[in-house]
Amino acid sequence: MSYMRGQNYIWCDDHRVHLWISEGYDGWDESVWYEPGSRPRHADSPSTRTRASGVAVPQNLMDDYVVMRFAELIDGGVATDVIERALATQAGNGGCSALANNAPRLRAFLSST
């Protein structure tokens, strides 16, 4: 099922969430977990820093992230705004159908907190 399509493409299969970004280089080699010698041979190519790249994350890990992030949006008072933006920009994607179906309940919950 697709959640977002376009420059940022997010979809899932039975076990993983796939995230593909049109400009794939994200500075991974500047992170604290980078180990010298683990760099792919093509990493220094100029095209490496601009071509699409992605990752597959286990669904249960993404589920944990999503509920934590949603809690942060609630704490920040912006969850309703994000719901409205997602409905406006992601309509037509399978994952947005569930949001559209539950938006009234989510709005009601958020207005009572």
* pLDDT tens-digit readout, 29-69: 777 777 776 655 555 555 555 567 788 999 999 999 999 99
Q: Letter for the amino acid at 3? A: Y
Whole-number mean pLDDT of the chain?
Answer: 86
The DSSP bridge partners found for residue 57 are: 17
Which amino acid, 97? S
Quote the pLDDT of residue 76.
97
Domain regions of the chain by residue span:
2-111
Measured in Å, how far apart are the chain's first and last C-alpha atoms?
Answer: 31
Q: Say yes or no to pLDDT of 85 above 90.
A: yes
Predicted pLDDT of residue 73: 98
pTM for this predicted structure: 0.76
Of 29 and 76, more confident: 76
Strands 8-12 and 2-4: antiparallel
The pLDDT of residue 38: 62
